[in-house]
Structure 1
Amino acid sequence: MWSSISTTETVQSDGDVFEVPSMVMQTAVTPLNAAMNLEIIWSPNPQPQNQSLGYLIIMHFSELQLLPSNAERQFYISINDMQLPEPVSPHYLGTGFVSNGNARYRDNKYNISMYATANSTLPPVISAVEFFSVISATNIATDSQDVSAIMAIKANYEVQKNWMGDPCVPKTMVWERLTCSYTSDNSPRIISINLSSSGLNGDISSSFTNFKAVQYLDLSNNNLTGSIPGALSQLTSLTILDLSGNHLNGSISPELLKRTQDGSLNLRHGNNPDICTDGNSCQPTKTKNKLAIYGVVLIAVIVVLVLVAVALFFFLRQRNPGENLASEMKNDGHRTEKDGYGNSPLGLETRQFTYIELERITNNFRRVLGKGGFGNVYEGSLEDGTQVAVKIRSKSSNQGDKEFLTEVQILTLIHHKNLVSMIGYCKDGEHMALVYEFMSEGTLEEHISGKGNNAVCLPWRQRLRIAVESAQGLEYLHKGCNPPLVHRDVKATNILLNAKLEAKIADFGLSKAFHHNDDTHVSTNRIVGTPGYVDPDYQTTWRATSKSDVYSFGIVLLVLVTGKPPILRTPHTISIIEWVQQRLAQGNIEGVVDVRIHGDHDINSMWKAAVIALKCTTEALAERPTMTDVVAQLQECLNLEEELADGGSDSGIYNG
């Protein structure tokens, strides 16, 4: 019933408050038969929880044809047989709009009819129409309990930030250092509070215990005193509580200790010298002073004994230079009684395997799972049937004893659900190997590139979940370890997936420890990493920082979004960063998205993820976010995607 008209000329907004894009206004429809009305029929499909107060209808018009002097286009508009008072006369290559204004009402069906006036020689025309659901502002305000709590925090600590209005609404004006979650069913909730290095003084306010939806609370590097409120353990959504770098004292409550032990809470309390971590009451000051004196004396004695033992050890080694770990093995591959079977000669609390054992559990290294710079990775099975992956160092590997021992020590000390767990290692003569948990779905690289046995294209929601989990693993290395660690080789091949497609960071042979007080960096004597993923600042300064990992993770995120490698040849060599920037500068987000995803995604979450990735890869280190910030922002992207899957989102317009 409609015919289309269009123009290639620019359509000016003429001060239109809606600022409709010219591309939208360059097309219009008009009736096929000039004598007919232009009819638009729309039936709303409101959600049960959305008790709309009515619908605001806005229609946009432009004259796309240069009319002769004897021609005129003028028409009336009626909505459900109620005629709007003034006729419409569109401007040539200009914009104008008409709305039902304050005459909003609810109805099951809306019939918009446009018909020519008596003086008009041309039929009606329309370029665009919008329907807005009107809802009560009280339904979208931040949860009242969260508002009361954050207002109390603001007053109590005299927070010097731009905290005004509603904390979470609108989304574009969320309070600084806060992250909120948004669902169509409920009011926005505060899920992350980052007040690190904010000059907070005094006790930890009881108001923090009122944030029932908070997942991340960072109060580190302030001047907080007093004890840690045990009531914080009742925040069931809280997964990370960072209180490090304060002046807190007293014992940690049994409830908080229990949650840290069962893995539901990551409690960081380092650099609080007066905190008791054993759950018992702290000793009085005088007693502590006496104990300190005794402790110093005892430590001095122990140090002397250790030095004597070390000297004796090297003396005996010089007498027997050919002695090594292999000579301590019996012919059957078991350890001698000298060391005790299963104990580590490196002093690590993990299982040590002999090379003969590795041959047995891998069935003589029958099935290769993958190959890297260190060597081949083989599938294995322990005595109890547990599947494992066995990484054997090849003779051609550039990784020496130092890198091998670094990875063994790191994997022994760190434990996080998004880091690959080590089961044991082998240092048997010239044979070196790592035995770690079996990740049945291989590397992220295999899924993205479409190569290998695990080449299954991942949907966008699954890719986002992998991004969040990988980011959480890196965040733990940067903030949860003491001292913190820089991975230095973050890439898609070092992100492994288990049977549930849960992501875990792997390959810690290049990791280095750094200290927060030393600008979070560690100097190296050579550049390590993978081309395309290496931070340019690290290449220039030879100083690896936590922001080096952030840069590499940004590349991983771009790979997840685009499905392309870090370095493209099209046919000229170009970095994935530049390739994405060129398209986003034109507003072409769909030109960035991996074509295999087939449009099954929320465009808001896709765009936001791409923007996060570009922030991670900016040249200036200070402008890059921390991994904590990245985790929070990616979680927002995942929330948007899950809302789409649950039917809570019907918009494909990016409003950021």
Structure 2
Amino acid sequence: MAPPSWPPCLLLLLLCLAGGGILQPGAQPDSKGFISIDCGYPGETSYVDDTNGLSYSPDAGFTDAGTNRNISGEYVRPLLSRRAHNLRSFPDGRRNCYTLRSLVSGLKYLIRANFVYGNYDGLNRPPASFDLHIGVNFWTTVNLSSWSDPVGSLAWVEAVVVVPDEFVQVCLVNTGGGTPFISGLDLRALKRKLYPQATVEQGLVAIGRFNAAPTNKSYIARYPDDPHDRIWYPWYDATIWAELSTTHTVTNADYGLFEAPPVVMQTAITPRNGSRSIVFYWDAEPTPNDPSPGYIIVMHFAELQLDAVRNFYVNLNGKPWYSDAYTPDYLRSNAVYDIVPNRQRHYNLTIDAATNSTLPPILNAVELFSVIPTTIVGTDSQDASAAMEIKAKYQVHKNWMGDPCLPKTMAWDRLTCSHAIASRPRITSLNMSSSGLTGNISTSFADLKALQYLDLSNNNLTGSIPDALSELPSLTVIDFSGNQLHGSIPPGLLKRIQDGTLDLRHGNNSELCTGSNSCQLSAKRKNKVAIYVAVPILVILVIVSAAILVFFLLRRRNQQQGSMNNMTTVKPQNEEVMSTSYGGGDIDSLRIVENRRFTYKELEMITNGFKRVLGQGGFGRVYDGFLEDGTQVAVKLRSHASNQGVKEFLAEAQILTRIHHKNLVSMIGYCKDGKYMALVYEYMAEGTLREHIAGNDRNGACLPWKQRLRIALESAQGLEYLHKGCNPPLIHRDVKATNILLNARLEAKIADFGLSRAFDHDTDPVYTNAVFGTPGYMDPEYQATMHPTTKSDVYSFGVVLLELVTGNTAILSDPEPTNIIHWSQQRLARGNIEGVVDVRMHNGYDVNGVWKVAEIALKCTSQGSAQRPTMSDVVAQLQECIKLEEGRAHGFDAGVSNNTAFEMEHGVPTVATGPAAR
């Protein structure tokens, strides 16, 4: 949010921004967790900036592309920071990247890039625009044309993201708008609690961070006043706001979620002339990349007047944004903030004094962010690191910049990747033939564990062949021909050659001993080699055989004991409990090893007094919450009026302690505190599949067919695990679209295991004295026999598939109640696929693929369970459907991230239509 106007002296001062950490090229973060890079700096060592005592490192250790350039002398002004005097330009290649290493996987980082064009190329024509990516996810578009002085001004862009690997790459992408360049790049490690809205699925892009009414109107707060080196700009307007300040220290009371620095919280604005409201407004800025941008607002409050009676409400577009009247604590900083992004066209935010307040409202600081999806995960971390090591060793240039496999349109030349649906890309083929390689064969090739084909032929490689290559399980072809290798073929590779699992090509290596040239081994040496190979293999076979025998004996014993002790089958109410291994209904005896036990008071704290309801079911309400480390969770609290009792609670708790699969919702902890019972789950940001099919998600958008297919496959994989991967197997018994939840990546997970039952085909068939489930999804054979099987889940899943195809509910109500199965059968029997498919998808699908899914669904919903497929069969058939859809969309790279373009003019946010204050 920007004020209506900015003093000229402030605009001038913003040119002197600087920061850094004492580094050498390629070094790891310093003791503060900082990496600061002076892009294009020609020196070899760091230098200290006088303004804050921090230092900048040359960028040569972070990128091997681009050209160092200096800005024109006329733009080297007294207040311009030293870092802005030079830059790195990237005239060649579509994507050029900086690689920042030695990070902590899963930690949050603030990443900031700085730009000063300064007519460095003498053309006096800055690039119109270029894109920035963090890893393989789109970050923002740098649009220089929006700057008031696009030639001489300094601007920065900033994001807060969770880094999935031990390195992160910041990439400049040439989109045809001119040559990309960069002046500076900063990385700041953040505490895990900070900015809970930044998750593995979502990053925050700073629109503005404002310090209300600082006493020094030209003061820009950053390191060391802010230990995280965030930049807080002065924000004031004497015509509409009065100012408050204190010299006392303001402590932080926001549980470490934002940690606004004390110097920022010591001042505040309040309405002037008796007004009892502070008002801001701004308009959303849709872009082609993000037609419906989402915004996160964080407002910081601390009372600065002793014995003040100040209460106020915060409203957004006329509706309560914070439900209760807010009373700021004296000299204690706290925040009111969004949990999920707002997506509206216009924003009118008011802070209004409550009727019982004797003083008008105040505001100490504001942060405004747009959100970007970070759901695309790059190449397998080990593969990517190995590829970068190989690139560095052999000084490969080509287009080897950024992630090796993604985006597909920018994948590295002469490298092939596999792109499985539910896993990260893997490097499967590497062709470096005739590439001028010198030196020995890098051991990093052995880290490419999915490699199938390796061609290093016709280079100048020397040294011996590393035996570690024999450990690559998928490798089928290696071509070393036309090099200068020496020594013998290692035993591991010899064995692979002899058993026919490897084709090793090694011609034209005159000093390589292979047994068929002048270096042929003597018969005696051959025998020794045979002994050296055979004896260890024989010993290994004996050891493995003994281990297998012991394993099976122990497993059989454990299974026998497990049928009595390890697996408890809990029947829902009105059914007999078959085991008492949890102490006759006491959750304390559950073997919850990895899960945390919460008290009811702790649940109150993490849910902020059970304030925000995510949903409601037969068990009770589900509330939104945040753990101490900022992890967002869902808290399912049993209602005292619930029909579902202790048995269902114990059944779900026990099941969730022993099942672990990427497509099943995970339990984080539980509460059994007197009369209070609750389960704490991982947070599923996008709610239920039913909401998305109906178009009731936050964007109101229709799920595309490709996304529906992926959700269907992931749900099927979760059920397949229950049926095949659990011992004993489990029947879910309540599969439906509202029990399939989606995370922020729209990845599907099966939820709600309160009715689940364990069974054994041979010894423990499941019989019940009551039927449980949801109308429209229930297996008619189960209803008739009271004997649920895995095929009961298959039937219910078939109904979900029909919902995905048609967009309808399980039971249609117009013109009269009709089962979706009968409704679909009638139309498909006439060959009328168009009359069945959800019209909102606008033909965006492969017709054959839709037909196939509809047929799978009808097979799943056959009246007799014997005619239904298993979940394993369903998974295999859905994978074929996805191949059909990918074939239709061949060449289209789906899943491109969206973002709102963001530029800074003199470091000041420029939002074309606001925000404004009044």
Between the two structures, name the one with larger relative contact order (CA 8 Å, sep ≥ 6).
Answer: 2
More helix as a share of residues = 1
More strand as a share of residues = 2
TM (normalized to structure 2)? 0.35
TM (normalized to structure 1)? 0.48
